[in-house]
Amino acid sequence: MTQGDLRPTLEDVAAYAGVSRSTASRALNEEAYVSSRAREKVLDAARELGYSPNQAARSLVTRRTNAIALVLSEPETKVLEDPYFAEIVRGAFRELSARRSQMLMMLVDSREDVPGTVRFLDGGHVDGALVFASHRADPLPSALRSLRLPIVFGGGRPGGATRGLHLVDFDNEGGAKLAVQHLLSLGRKRIGTVAGPQDQRSAVDRLTGWRKTLGLDDRAANRLSEEGDFSTESGEQAMIRLLARVPNLDAVFAANDPMAAGALRALHAAGRRVPEDVAVVGFDDHRGIAEATTPPLTTVHQDPREQVRQMVDTLCQLIEGENPPPRRKVLPVSLVHRASA
């Protein structure tokens, strides 16, 4: 280092470690063809000198930013309140951090945010994107199709189509089937549902699973179902409406845990015992909710962290130039038995 420049250079690290500049560069960039001893000497030298690589210069050479965008196409309030999205953010941060990538989170709060989001993703700021955009009318997935940026979608089929897309989802219909079959095995006869918003693929699939398992026609399905928006308050109001219409209801399947918690609140207020009078099953197995309700909630288990891990695996393959075939990967779910059913 020169007296006027206190920032160590790659040449300083190489000289301190007693290796060539190219060897030091390969060691710091975790490339092959560097002996373990030389790599250790270079890393020790970098730590002792306080060397930090010039990321801008590295990007010019590798054409990589070492950053991944996590794009959540949901209103800000939904992202901040829904425990599913909290798990997605945590899982993405940990998975990308373990791979030494930076996570840049972007919220697409409304249709007006779409053009700016697309321009940013097309501007060379990130190497790829993990996108959650499950609403049927969401314009974001179609807008992203024109980009050459590697993208992997999470959750329901964006725009109702999967052709040419990489997507990781859960077996939502199968999970609903597990829930209803369990309630039937308990001898329940009148099984209603608090369905999620029907502009989302996961909610549609869960409602389909409930209906198919019970073999209901349109009239019976309409009588035994109420729609919520995945919030606790909507689950409570939907349960109140269901009880008013079907007072002898003896079981309910809620399309997520917050709505199931709301349903429990309404049942307690109506003087219905759970599970003696009405058995309740949710969907998510979010421990902060399912284990805290009274009684604890029987629910369908899904693992957002595994979903993110699979998405990141696929995205890294795309970034590295590999060409896995576009496909929709469906992750299995299971039923966790607790006291509510």
pLDDT in tens, 255-297: 999 999 999 999 999 999 999 999 999 999 998 999 999 999 9
pTM: 0.80
Measured over the CA atoms of residue 225, residue 226, residue 229 and residue 233, the dihedral's sign is negative
Q: What value does the mean pLDDT take over residues 226-248? A: 97
Tell me whether the omega of the peptide bond preceding residue 275 falls within 30 degrees of 0, making it cis.
yes
Q: Say which DSSP state 160 is in.
A: G
Other beta carbons within 10 angstroms of residue 282's beta carbon come to: 32
Q: What is the helix (H) or strand (E) element at residue 96, kind and residue range?
A: helix 83-98
Q: Report which residue type is found at 229.
A: D
User: What share of the chain in percent tops pLDDT 90?
Assistant: 66
Q: Any idea which of 13-17, 36-40, 119-123, 168-172 has the lowest mean pLDDT?
A: 36-40
User: Hey, what are 236's tokens?
Assistant: 């409570």
